[in-house]
Chain A
């Protein structure tokens, strides 16, 4: 459970930092009067949707940290046989990086109020994400063809499960990205699109980060690191 405990420590650090800005040492019974007289503790200036997405990403992060924890615990057992990594994963990773980059370019264009570039970035991002998902299915197919079935070994099961969960999150993101792209296509004014574009990009960068962590885990690069963690705990 070391991964999730580390993740929670990170969340606790962020929450602690935030709480330290909130004047929790105030003596509210002495502080009568309007807000202007007391600094701190006002509502967050962030748009609600951005804050909501931030909290949601913490939830998704917790979900993946738990999968990783389970993976690290289960891989200790003797029946674990690591998978060969399908080559296509490297291509997929590159495509996902392109997808994330395209959305970032859309964000930059939206800040400059450049409607054409926004649309281009969104479309490129969406297409690249679809290519990534197809690539993931291809990886599944290759593994299946090579006889690495889901139930044959826990390593296989984890590979299919974790990539599926990641893919489903991306698919959910594609729904939102699709709606934003349609709005951009129909010529909704760029300032009104900006928040949506930023939210999509934020989600994409997060899923890219998660994917890179998962890749390190699934390719076995993290084995030595995991072994060190385990020794620390035992």
Chain B
């Protein structure tokens, strides 16, 4: 075997990736707090994102209490309800999902999966986290300033976000915009790292087409985020000018409380274009890492190679490119040239093609696989179901004629929660159950995991599935109190109460998860290096959890793609990426 090994190494080009000079921390502070190690930064990102996510979860509870039992909770008034909506949306989309997928999973998995020692610019990577934390703190501060956080909705549409009728008009909106600007600056520092690390620091043998789909997903999403976030940055800066310096980029001439305001001529539509030029790619910035991660979870836990790897890569790239030319489908109700509506409806529906390819490939990967119903797998399966559900209602809403009547109803709320709320969160949970053993060296408790899964999955369906029906009835969204209306039957109110109870239960079930995370840290079963029998490089590190520098003395060499599961004739049902080929094996066994 040793001979074969050296035989393979002949003809290997000299290391194209020079050994990096690693930064070596000298004190506890630089090792665990101001760390430049991507793995520590990843944990910092994840913990911060989940902590602020818990705030958003509590806000959703408060909203559901009001919707389910209007008038019972006197401490929730209309202004607060709007503030809860705004902060819930903003936190979940940007400060939780974007930060967790790219800052958390990206930082942990990219260097390990491509066989690098660390990110290429560790110092910028560290700054990225601390600026993100600052952005989160500024966001949290809005809860405590006079007037409270902004209640303009997560889209922050002007002119209402700047007018005095909207809660949080004094300080809330200013801090919100500042927080977003900080977030974007911090993200750009991290994002440059993720992209350049994938391009430049891959180990020998790791061609692009041998990268796990997780890396493809995170890489493409990062490129999109780097190009799309500037749109939010521009919108936020210009709105700050309008709010603080009295310019009229977005603000039309208005009469407020009988007084002519100093603004004039600005274009609220301009803001909408800028916002959605960021906002639509943002959906895929969250979805693409989820697509990638779920592909790896399904392949690993079904012990089968991913079906149509090439098609999966092309679909990720295709979705990434297409997502930049669909933004105006969020603006059908803002009024536009019918030709534009037709164009954007068409591009929106075309995105369904690569997305459907991915769904078929996941299902075909499962077909006749050796499916292990572990907790990560359960979450991955739940993702497919939820994502198909949310994707199908997306086809409804992508059409102008269907979107216009449904746009301001609960149907839209149900759609986007299914497709970019519940579905990516399922992947987040699956991924945490999957990679926790690598991060900590211990398994998460399986029983608690199953309880967490079933309550979360069934509960989320109990909340959002009936919401489609409420939307079709015409129940409007963003309303603090529907009151007595002829077209909404009494049964709809009962349904609302049921959904609220379900939401409370789902929220409480997350405590089981948090308990599991903390408890397993010291009491969990020892995981060993590769508990799932996975092929990708992060499971082949010499130590678990991986030490600083990841790979000991020598970088791994990659000899095969990431999905050699259940290869006929192989001894085990997986072959790690860094295992040299066995020349005695009959040729063609892999085809």
Contact = CB atoms under 8 A, between A and B. Distances in A.
Contact of A4 (B17, B195, B204, B277): B277
Contacts of B313: 24
Kindly name the residue among A24, A25, A27, A66 whose own CB sees the greatest number of chain B CB atoms within 10 A: A66
Contact of B234 (A25, A70, A150): A70
Given A23-B209, A157-B249, A56 B202 contact: no
A185 B270 CA distance: 48
B558 to A, nearest CB: 8
Given A8-B227, A34-B12, A70 B274 contact: yes
Interface of A, helix, strand, loop or mixed by DSSP: helix
A31 B337 contact: no
Interface string B306-317: 000110011001
Contacts of A62: 226-227, 230-231
A23 B313 CA distance: 12
Contacts of A56: 188, 192
A59 interface: yes
B569 to A, nearest CB: 13
Contacts of A73: 267, 270, 273
B573 to A, nearest CB: 16
A70 B310 CA distance: 38
Interface in A168-207: none
A29 B12 contact: no
Interface string B178-222: 000000000010011101100111101111111000000000000
Contacts of B246: 150-151
A26 B207 contact: yes
Given A35-B204, A74-B249, A45 B317 contact: no
A67 interface: yes
B265 interface: yes
Interface string A49-92: 10110011011001100110110011001111000000000000
Interface stretch (A36-44, A111-119, A127-135): A36-44
Contacts of B241: 150, 157, 161
Interface residues of A, number: 60
B248 interface: yes
A40 B207 contact: yes
Contacts of B557: 34
A1 interface: yes
A78 B264 CA distance: 10
Nearest to B585: A32
A65 to B, nearest CB: 8
Contacts, number: 181
Given A36-B11, A70-B234, A150-B247, A52 B121 contact: yes
A151 B226 contact: no
Nearest to B196: A52
B338 interface: no
A67 B274 CA distance: 10
A41 B17 CA distance: 13
A234 B559 CA distance: 54
A38 to B, nearest CB: 6
A137 to B, nearest CB: 18
B231 A151 contact: no
A46 interface: yes
Contact of A34 (B8, B193, B195): B8
Interface in B342-377: none
Interface string B555-569: 001111101100000
Contacts of B572: none
Contact of B317 (A8, A19, A234): A19
A63 B11 contact: no
A202 to B, nearest CB: 15
Contacts of B210: 28, 41
A213 interface: no
Contacts of B262: 151
Q: 8 nearest interchain CB pairs?
A: A41-B207, A79-B265, A28-B561, A151-B246, A157-B247, A63-B230, A36-B11, A48-B120
Given A28-B207, A29-B309, A56-B188, 8 more contacts: A28-B310, A30-B590, A35-B205, A43-B16, A48-B196, A66-B277, A151-B247, A161-B241
